[in-house]
Structure 1
Amino acid sequence: MAEADPGVVDAIARVPEVTVADAAALDARLRTADTPFVVRGLVADWPLVRAGRRSAKDARDYVLRHHRDRPFTVAAGQPGSDGRLFYDDAMAMNFRTLTAKLPDIFAKIDAVEGTADALPIYLASIDLHEFFDGLHEANHVDLGDRTLIASIWMGTRTRIAAHNDVPHNLACVAVGRRRFTLFPREQFRNLYLGPVDNTPAGRAVSMVDFHAPDFAEYPRFREALDHAQVAELDAGDALYIPALWWHHVEGLAAFNVLVNYWWRDAPRWLGQPQDALNHAMLAIRDLPEDQKKYWRDLFDYYVFENDEAVVAHIPEQARSVLGPLNTESAGRIRAFLLRALSR
């Protein structure tokens, strides 16, 4: 697998590193951080990390001792793709999505490990609680009272295009090595995002090949790199990625395992902003310009500004969904939308 252009990587600022003494210190840091940070050795004492330090095969055997006998979803790439799970020339995916039992998937990884130009094999975002017994309990970070999604990511050398996620993310390298290249939220215009509906994994991704960026085709990517940060993590290290920060992810070893935790600060009953964006493209984007201006103003009024002037003239008991949302009023909006969209 080719490495990123050293000139490009060397010019990027490194993600700051911090030290945390215990779970309380980590919790405090996470509650106040609005930029990424690395914690070296945060999960160095995990049994999975210790197994991986012995060998990649020991790590796979350790995982297999905890897996449940059920189909796992796996992406199988193509030889010659440099590990990049992306689009092909026709904008279809350059990998197949299959289901198989975990011992069979690992047997395939056993067979290709150490071979030149082995096809990429990648298990992405596998729920730790649903697919394993005891793996989370033996290998986890104490993140207090947060409502978490805990996932494991396993595979060969791979490259995942820059994308972002709605939740906050604590990513812990358990086996192998990973490189993350991160960009602030507002850099999306300089990353040349691809389709929003035809995506490798549900989120729009950068069309730029980070190993060979074409600055003639993507000139604004130079501006993105001026704001980028890079982190290279060994087994045991962790990286905090704030909500909506863009990140390009590379598995650098022949076998890599990452455990991550997602959580949102917003209440669970709130809707997903991406759904609102998708519906706005359907309902507003192609309207005449004068109508689009009206709806932009109305969005500012009700959503982005949302000051006291919006409701000051309405009796407090009659403000309904214009007042602060709660579980009940959010449910009313959701029911209204479902009725409207089903017509």
Structure 2
Amino acid sequence: MAEADPGGAAGTPVPEVTVSDAADLDARLRAATAPFVVRGLVKDWPLVVAGRRSAREARAYIAAHARPVPFAVSVGTSESDGRLFYDDAMGMNFRMMQAKLPAIFAKIDAFEGQAGAPPIYLGSVDLHDFFTGLHEANHVDLGQRMALASIWIGTRTRIAAHNDLPANLACVAAGRRRFTLFPREQFRNLYLGPVDNTPAGRAISMVDFHAPDFAAYPRFATALAHAQVAELAAGDALYIPPMWWHHVEGLDAFNVLINYWWRDAPSWLGQPQDALNHALLAIRDLPADQKAHWRDMFDHYVFGNDEAVVAHIPEAARSVLAPLTPQSAGRLRAFLLRQLSK
């Protein structure tokens, strides 16, 4: 097994840009086809200011805005070196628990400074559902985007490379984070795990970025040749385009990130991952000649989708073959649910 630098996988630096105001950021986000870093984008957030004083002050600031409800928290093992991943039996190497935020922070306080402390991680916590006033005091102006705002809180952690359907603006509010990013097409070289048994709903790379086994995963060397790396301090932000793969490390004893997800496509469209899962169920194990036919059908109706597909059908009768609307998408969704329930 070849050992990598324990500081993380190699890669070229993500390009950095400066933005003058919300309109400038909006323009850059609209034009972007690759990741970029904005240093100091959120440096004036009250949470960032509190975190610069100390990790405990950051926790106190967050706790003061938390609603008195249970939070889902992942607790790993001291042997995991912060890596939240599978165990040897392809279960998870962490436990999911629920507790109110002050109790979770009390555990982080108790473990602070201890060697081998288990990783504690709260992932993708909705800012509006679980906090009062935190978003209002600490947010990025994203114009007309209907963005989902989430907070990620944890000790030193390593989150395996995965991708997300929406665009993502990730803002470090406390601690430091390292992102290792890969273009969409590198998925074959990242050796993805199961699509249904996952740590957090998305297929992840099976490669340990701190100790990659190039004998077991030889194409990972090709992925690394296309990798981009960004190390962010509190106040910095990173834009991750839709479907780009990213491995995320919390580098300090306490780390906080607030991110924004949004889709440029209408919210009433379905989830492509659901279509892939259904294709695994319905198409993948067909005889080869039938699979070839369905590949042609997908090319014709989905990936080609030009005027020739529907030119012979009266315009008023094209139904879901016409550009989808909220109404026709709703009918199609209801039809699919009826079919899947049979």
TM-score category (smaller protein): over 0.9
Q: Please give the TM-score of this superposition, normalised by the length of structure 1.
A: 0.98
Give runs of aligned pairs for residues 271-290 of structure 1, distance below 5 A.
271-290=270-289
Alignment partner of 1:49 is 2:72: no
Q: Could you tell me how far apart the structure 2 residues matched to 1:205 and 1:101 are?
A: 29
Q: Is the 8 A contact 2:164 2:242 kept in 1?
A: yes
**Hey, what does 1:149 align to over in structure 2?**
148
Q: Is 2:239 the partner of 1:204?
A: no
SS of the residue aligned with 2:79?
Answer: coil
Instruction: Name 2:318's counterpart in structure 1.
Output: 319
Aligned to 2:300: 301
DSSP 3-state at the match of 1:80: helix
> Are the equivalent residues in 1 in contact too, given 2:7–2:210 (CA < 8 A)?
no
How does 1:226-305 map onto structure 2 within 5 Å? 226-305=225-304
Q: Say whether residues 1:5 and 2:5 are aligned partners.
A: yes
- Asked if 1:109 corresponds to 2:108, the answer is yes
Distance 1:132 1:322, change over 3 A: same
List alignment gaps of at least 5 residues for structure 1.
Answer: none
Shift of 1:12: 1.2
SS of residue matched to 1:186: helix
1:117 Cα shift?
1.1
> Partner amino acid for 1:305?
G
1:132 alignment partner in structure 2: 131
What is the aligned-residue identity percentage?
78
- Partner residue in 2 for 1:94: 93
Separation in 1, partners of 2:213, 2:139? 40
Q: CA deviation at 1:8?
A: 6.8
**Structure 1, residues 132-175: CA drift from partner, whole Å, max 9, x if none?**
00000000000001001000000100000000000000000000
Residues 284-313 of structure 1, C-alpha deviations (whole Å, 9 max, x = no match): 000000000000000000000011111011
Offset at residue 4 of structure 1 (A): 5.9
SS of 1:231's equivalent?
strand
CA distance in 1, matches of 2:137, 2:102: 21
Which residue does the alignment assign to 2:171?
172
Corresponding residue of 1:82: 81
Q: Distance in 1 between matches of 2:336 and 2:4?
A: 45
Q: Which amino acid aligns with 1:48?
A: L
Post-superposition shift, 1:6? 6.0
**Residue equivalent to 1:35:** 34
CA distance, structure 2, for counterparts of residue 321 and residue 126 of structure 1: 36
Cα shift at 1:7 = 8.9
Q: How many pairs were matched up?
A: 340
Q: Distance in 2 between matches of 1:4 and 1:216?
A: 13
For the 8 Å contact 2:78–2:116, the answer to whether it is kept is yes
SS of 1:65's equivalent?
helix
Runs of 4 or more above 2 Å deviation: 6-9
Q: Which runs of 5+ in 2 are unaligned?
A: none
Instruction: State the SS of the aligned residue for 1:108.
Output: helix
**Cα 1:217–1:59, aligned 2, differ >3 Å: closer, same or farther?**
same
Deviation at 1:332, TM superposition (A): 1.1
SS of 1:222's equivalent in the other structure is helix
Deviation at 1:262, TM superposition (A): 0.2
1:34 and 1:265 map into 2 onto residues whose CA distance is 13
Question: Do the aligned residues in 1 keep the contact of 2:6 with 2:210 (CA within 8 Å)?
Answer: no
Between 1:243-252 and 1:307-316, the stretch displaced more is: 307-316
In structure 2, relative to structure 1, the CA distance for the partners of 1:8 and 1:177 (3 Å cut) is closer
Cα drift, residue 80 of structure 1: 1.3
Q: Distance in 2 between matches of 1:247 and 1:57?
A: 28
SS of 2:221's equivalent? Answer: helix
Q: Contact between 2:4 and 2:212, CA under 8 Å: does it hold in 1?
A: no
